[in-house]
Structure 1
Amino acid sequence: MASAAALLLQLQLLLLLSLSAAQPGFISLDCGGADDYTDGIGIQWTSDAKLVFGGQATNLPVQNQLQKQYSTLRYFPADNSKYCYTMNVRTRTRYLVRASFLYGNFDNSNVYPKFDLSLGATPWSTVIIDDADTPVVEEAIILAAAPTLSVCLSNASTGQPFISTLELRQFNGSLYYTDYEAQFFLALSARINFGADGNKSVRYPDDPFDRIWESDSLRRANYLVDVAPGTERITTTKPVFVGTELEPPEKVMQTAVIGQNGSLNYRLDLEGFPGNAWAVSYFAEIEDLAPDETRKFKLVVPGMPLFSKPTVDVEENAQGKYRLYQPGYTNVTLPFVFSFEFKKTNDSSKGPILNAMEIYKHVQITMGSRKHHV
């Protein structure tokens, strides 16, 4: 017989489903918030006050109105329980799931929390706070095989588990389809907008699926370091055709970096690795090359010679300028410290170009996790 708490939860889920109808495919929970509102980029946020029956809400000082969702959070006891948000979803549909955590020293303890995050029974990530004023954001893409999806906090080793926001974005068609999606979900490690104008991320409404494309200008430890000399930014205002299966936003494809000295080098730490990855690079020729100019290059990864076999000729591969070409690997082993280089071929007159990149880790789904209930 269902408990009163479980029955209450089902009623709350029906309410949550109706609240999301105003922005189809989006669920945006402001955890600890008291009111519903629309933020500065048009995302409709729903307070979780009527949707949960546990935890405590508290406020944080946040000056930027665009970051209002970080002015509150909900925290839970540091005990042996698992605290879950469970949301109605459509079965056999892929969802982007995003959880964010801004500590802000809400408990006045100056003890940085560390706790586990899971999708149902499947371990997703360990949330480690190392800066009180910088949000930690975890993101995954999962195929819903049941009518509900749970995001859970548990196992705090320091501090108290807490959450600032929880977002669900429904994907259409074959977006992010993999042959392994019944057994694995994708945990985001990097989604980078190269050549970005400033530090600001690109997201909704420029990306209708509200993926967050981080600028390559961000400065943080072990993020896009060892940059090759001669790396330059370019941009265009001309339309770029992006109507392919992954549909990166046009704004992302209108910027790029080029290797004027013949190479593009980067190194970054991949969260959750080593492991098996889904990885893709996004290219578009956004320079008007002369008829006798060519841009051909190869990917070079230390210790992985197979990467260097294909030659990229963006204009030829994309069948024209200002068109997207998106080669990638659906299942490749990558290290934690990932160094890579795009290097021009001997018969190329121009150095390589790179517009964007995404890297996810395959995370094996624990049996029964998709039928987990709070």
Structure 2
Amino acid sequence: MDSRFWWQIFLAFAMAPAGARSQSTDAIGFLSIDCGLEPGSSYVDPLTNISYVSDVGFIDTGVNRNISVAYMVDVRARRYLTLRAFPNGTRNCYTIRSSAVARGSKYLLRAWFFYGNYDGLSGQPQSFHLHLGVNYWDRVNVTTAESSYRTEIIAVATAGYSV
């Protein structure tokens, strides 16, 4: 796989440790990140009532993009309208620095990917690997501009974070 085509289409984390709370999580302990959302922006999805924040505080590589106007009509969820693409580098990492991350705790991580022809290449297959730390998680393969991909994992935090 050619590293120039490792594109991150969309990512959201759902972090739900028992009893953990932090300023960056919502009232029930979830952190949902909308990749590509304007820096400093946040919103509540009216269908799911899930609060989303921009990914700017979690990564310092990549570029924000909008999906093609042709695909905006069919998109029901706001989280699919923007994305973060990674045209450079072989690894681009998100870092969660939250007092809600406790060593040894289990976390549910979910990621959604949608291409939406953001680059005008009309559905050139997008394929890349996801890793959690050094461990392989999944291979994302979005084959058409209108297809999406979802993956999830339950992970144990190997380190905590304190403020």
On whether the aligned pair clears a TM of 0.5, the verdict is: yes
Q: Answer yes or no: is the 8 Å Cα contact 2:130–2:136 preserved in 1.
A: yes
Answer with 1 or 2: which has the greater Rg: 1
* Distance (whole Å) between structure 1 residues aligned to residue 119 and residue 60 of structure 2: 20
* Distance (whole Å) between structure 2 residues aligned to residue 54 and residue 103 of structure 1: 19
Unaligned runs of 5+ residues in structure 2 are: 1-21
Q: Measure how far apart 1:78 and its partner are.
A: 4.5
* 1:131 corresponding residue in structure 2: 144
Q: Answer yes or no: is the 8 Å Cα contact 1:96–1:141 preserved in 2.
A: yes
Residues 46, 59 of structure 1: CA spacing in aligned structure 2 closer, same or farther, 3 A cutoff? same
Q: Given the alignment, which residue of 60, 78, 83 partners 2:92?
A: 83
Q: Given the alignment, which residue of 16, 19, 26 partners 2:24?
A: 19
Structure 1 residues 329-363: Cα deviation after superposition (integer angstroms, max 9, x where no partner): xxxxxxxxxxxxxxxxxxxxxxxxxxxxxxxxxxx
Would you tell me which structure has more strand in proportion to its own residues?
1
Structure 1 residues 48-103: Cα deviation after superposition (integer angstroms, max 9, x where no partner): 13432210001124346750000000011254x31011114122211110111101
Q: When the two structures are superposed, what TM-score results if normalisation uses the length of structure 1?
A: 0.33
* Larger RCO, structures 1/2 (Cα 8 Å, 6+ apart): 2
1:48 matches 2:55:
yes
Q: Measure how far apart 1:146 and its partner are.
A: 1.3
* Distance (whole Å) between structure 1 residues aligned to residue 109 and residue 142 of structure 2: 20
* Distance (whole Å) between structure 2 residues aligned to residue 66 and residue 51 of structure 1: 25
Structure 1 residues 220-256: Cα deviation after superposition (integer angstroms, max 9, x where no partner): xxxxxxxxxxxxxxxxxxxxxxxxxxxxxxxxxxxxx
* 1:92 corresponding residue in structure 2: 104
Runs of 4+ in 1 over 2 A off after TM superposition: 49-52, 61-66
Residues 36, 18 of structure 1: CA spacing in aligned structure 2 closer, same or farther, 3 A cutoff? same
* Distance (whole Å) between structure 2 residues aligned to residue 64 and residue 39 of structure 1: 16
Residues 107, 64 of structure 1: CA spacing in aligned structure 2 closer, same or farther, 3 A cutoff? closer
| RMSD across aligned positions (CA) | 1.9
* Distance (whole Å) between structure 2 residues aligned to residue 65 and residue 112 of structure 1: 19
* Distance (whole Å) between structure 2 residues aligned to residue 145 and residue 114 of structure 1: 28
Structure 1 residues 182-240: Cα deviation after superposition (integer angstroms, max 9, x where no partner): xxxxxxxxxxxxxxxxxxxxxxxxxxxxxxxxxxxxxxxxxxxxxxxxxxxxxxxxxxx
Unaligned runs of 5+ residues in structure 1 are: 1-16, 149-374
* Distance (whole Å) between structure 1 residues aligned to residue 32 and residue 44 of structure 2: 10
Q: When the two structures are superposed, what TM-score results if normalisation uses the length of structure 2?
A: 0.72
Q: Answer yes or no: is the 8 Å Cα contact 1:39–1:66 preserved in 2.
A: no
